[in-house]
Structure 1
Amino acid sequence: MPEAGDGPRRAGAPRRRGAVLEEAILQAAAEVLRESGVAGLTMDEVARRAGTNKNAIYRRWPNRVALGVAAYRRLAAEEITVPDTGSLREDALELLRRANSTWSSPYGEILRGLIAAAGGTPELLTELRAPAADGDTYEAAWTAVLGRAVARGEAGPGAPHPRVASAPVALLRNEYMTRGVPVVPDAVLIEIVDEIFLPLVHGRSGG
C-alpha cells in the first residue's frame, strides 16, 4: 500500500514510500544544513525540497532538531582514514588535528548549532555523539590507533578503553563549546595529547 503523506508528484512518477521517501527527506535536510545551517532548517523547506509534505516528515521525526541530528549524522558518516605513523603520539595528534579542522569548518558550526538547539534533550545529544551507522567514526579511529599501539608494545592491553578513546575529542569539543573559539590552537591539541591522553594510556598499562 502506498505511503500516505507523500506530496505532489509529477504525472506518471512512482509514489515513494518507506526507506525511499526517508532517504529523500534526509538528503533534502542535509542540503539545507549545508546551505543555511541550523537556523535555516525548517520542515517547510525540507518538505519542499523532498517533494513531500510535513506530515510525512513528522511521522519520522518529531521536530526540526531531531531531523537535523539525523541529517547531520548522514553528513558525518564519511570515511575516516586511520593514521599509522608508527607512533601513538603522532597518530593521536593527527586524529585530533583532523577533528579540529572539521570543528572549525562549516560542518563544525552545524554540529555546535545542533548541540545548542538540542538543549536539555538527552537522547538527541546522545545521538549526536554516538557512532554513525557504519561504525567508521572518530571514536572507532581512536580505538584502532590504541589497538595498534598495544600491538607495537607501546601501550598496555587495557589502553583501548572507550573512555580513553573518547577523551581527546571530548576535550576538544569542550574547548569550542565553553570558549567559543573559531579554531583551537595547535598548542592546545598538543597539550591534550601530552598532558591528558598519553598519561591516561600509560595509566592503564597494567590492563
Structure 2
Amino acid sequence: MSGQDAGGTATRRRGAALRNAILRAAWDVLVEQGYNGFTYEAVAARAATSKPVLYRRWPRREDLLLATLAHHWRPLDLPDTGSLRQDALTLLRAVNAERGRTVILMRIQLADYFRETGTSFNELRDRLLPAGQVPGFGQIVARAVERGELPDAPRTARLVNLPLDLVRHDMLMNMGPVPDESIVEIVDEVWLPLLGLPPHRA
C-alpha cells in the first residue's frame, strides 16, 4: 500500500515497514480516541492504507488492539544486581519512569474494552507477555532463591508481584509517577518483611 515519505513523495510500503506504520497509526488513534474510536476506518485513514489491508492481517478488532499494545509494550531489561532488594528497586524505578504514562493511558482508554470483554488489566498484561515468560518479579525472586538469599518455599503470585501491584495502584491513584521514597518504602517496609526478610535500614 502506498504512503508518503517526508518530502511528500508516494512510497510503496510492504512487510515490516507497512506493519510498523499501521501499528504506529493504531497507537495514535487509541491514545486520542480511546477504544470506542479504535476502528478499522480510523486506523486505516491514519495509516494511509485500506481496511482490507488491516483485515487480512488482523481479522478481529481485538487482534489489531493486541498487536498495537504488544508493539508499544516493549519488555523492560530485567536487572541482575546480585541483591533481591536492588533488583526490586531497579525494576520498579524503570517501570515508574518508562511505563507510568502507558499504564494510566491503558486504564483510561481501554475502560470500554474491559467492560465489553469482561476482562481486567491483569489479564490483558498476561496476554501481552511472550508465551512461557515468567513475569519480572517471578524471575527476580527465583534468582534470589538460587543465590540462597531466600529459602526455596512456595509463594503465591500475589505475594511475588505485590511491589509492582502497589506501584501501579499509586500511579493510578495519583495519575502520575510514584515518588521514589514510596518505592523504597514498598520494598523495604512491606515486601521484604512479607518474604521473611528483615526490613532494610539505611
Find the counterpart in structure 2 of residue 51 from structure 1.
49
Q: TM-score normalised to the size of structure 1? A: 0.68
Structure 1 segments unaligned to the other structure (5+ residues): 1-7
1:32-181 aligned within 5 A: 32-34=26-28, 37-39=31-33, 42-43=38-39, 44-48=41-45, 49=47, 51-53=49-51, 56=55, 60-62=59-61, 67-76=64-73, 78-105=74-101, 107-120=102-115, 121-123=117-119, 125-130=121-126, 132-135=128-131, 140-158=135-153, 161-177=156-172, 179-181=173-175
1:196/1:50 Cα in 2 relative to 1: closer, same or farther (>3 Å)? farther
Find the counterpart in structure 1 of residue 200 from structure 2.
none
| Partner SS state of residue 128, structure 2 | coil
| Partner SS state of residue 202, structure 1 | coil
| Partner SS state of residue 95, structure 1 | helix
8 Å Cα contact 1:168-1:197 kept in structure 2: yes
Separation of aligned partners in 1, 2:42 and 2:57: 13
Find the counterpart in structure 1 of residue 185 from structure 2.
191
Q: TM-score normalised to the size of structure 2? A: 0.69
Structure 2 segments unaligned to the other structure (5+ residues): 4-11, 198-202
Deviation readout 1:102-123 (Å, 9 max, x if unpaired): 2334x34432334433342333
Separation of aligned partners in 1, 2:129 and 2:48: 22
8 Å Cα contact 1:159-1:202 kept in structure 2: no
Deviates more, 1:142-151 or 1:41-50: 41-50
| TM-superposed deviation, 1:163 | 2.5
**Amino acid paired to 2:119:** E
Separation of aligned partners in 1, 2:28 and 2:155: 34
8 Å Cα contact 1:168-1:193 kept in structure 2: yes
Separation of aligned partners in 1, 2:67 and 2:124: 8
| Partner SS state of residue 87, structure 2 | helix
Find the counterpart in structure 1 of residue 7 from structure 2.
none
| Partner SS state of residue 162, structure 2 | helix
| Partner SS state of residue 76, structure 2 | coil
Deviation readout 1:165-186 (Å, 9 max, x if unpaired): 3222111111122x23321111
| Partner SS state of residue 183, structure 1 | coil
**CA RMSD, aligned part only?**
3.7
Instruction: State percent identity of aligned pairs.
Output: 26
| TM-superposed deviation, 1:62 | 4.3
1:126/1:83 Cα in 2 relative to 1: closer, same or farther (>3 Å)? closer
